[in-house]
Amino acid sequence: MKTLNDYKAALEAYLEALPISGAPDILRQAMRYSLLAGGKRLRGCLLLAAADMAGEGGESALPFAAALEMIHAYSLIHDDLPAMDNDTLRRGKPTSHVVYGEAVAILAGDALLTHAFETMLKSDHPRALPAILEIAAAAGVGGMLAGQTLDVTNEGETPNKELVLRIHEGKTAALLTAPVTAGLILGGADNGLVRAGRAYGYHLGLAFQIVDDLLDLKGDPALMGKTLGKDLEEKKLTWPACVGESQARRDAETHIRAAADAFAPYGDRALFFRDLAFSTLNRTH
With CB under 8 A as the contact rule, the residue among 1, 13, 83, 224 that binds a copy of itself is: 83
What is the smallest separation between the CB atom of 196 and a copy of itself, expressed in angstroms? 23
21 vs 282, beta carbon nearer a copy of itself? 21
- Among positions 22-51, residues that touch a copy of itself (CB under 8 A) are 22-24, 26-28, 31
Measured in residues, the chain has a length of 285
23 vs 228, beta carbon nearer a copy of itself? 23
Count of C-beta atoms within a 10 Å radius of residue 22: 7
Q: Say if CB 159 and CB 235 are below 8 A apart.
A: yes
Measured over the CA atoms of residue 116, residue 77, residue 7 and residue 193, the dihedral's sign is negative
* Residue 25 CB contacts under 8 Å (≥ 6 apart), including other chains: none
What is the smallest separation between the CB atom of 43 and a copy of itself, expressed in angstroms? 16
With CB under 8 A as the contact rule, the residue among 8, 41, 43, 78 that binds a copy of itself is: 78
CA distances from 44 to 4, 88, 127, 184 (A): 10, 25, 17, 13
Asked if residue 61 binds a copy of itself (CB under 8 A), the reply is: no
CA distances from 94 to 37, 81, 100, 123 (A): 11, 12, 10, 33
Crossing angle between the packed helical segments 161-168 and 144-153, to the nearest 10 degrees = 140
- Among positions 102-161, residues that touch a copy of itself (CB under 8 A) are 102-104, 106-107, 109-111, 113-115, 117-118, 121-122, 128-129, 132-133, 136-137, 139-143, 145-146, 148-150, 152-153
Q: Which residues bind a copy of itself (CB under 8 A)?
A: 20-24, 26-28, 31, 74, 78, 81, 83-84, 101-104, 106-107, 109-111, 113-115, 117-118, 121-122, 128-129, 132-133, 136-137, 139-143, 145-146, 148-150, 152-153
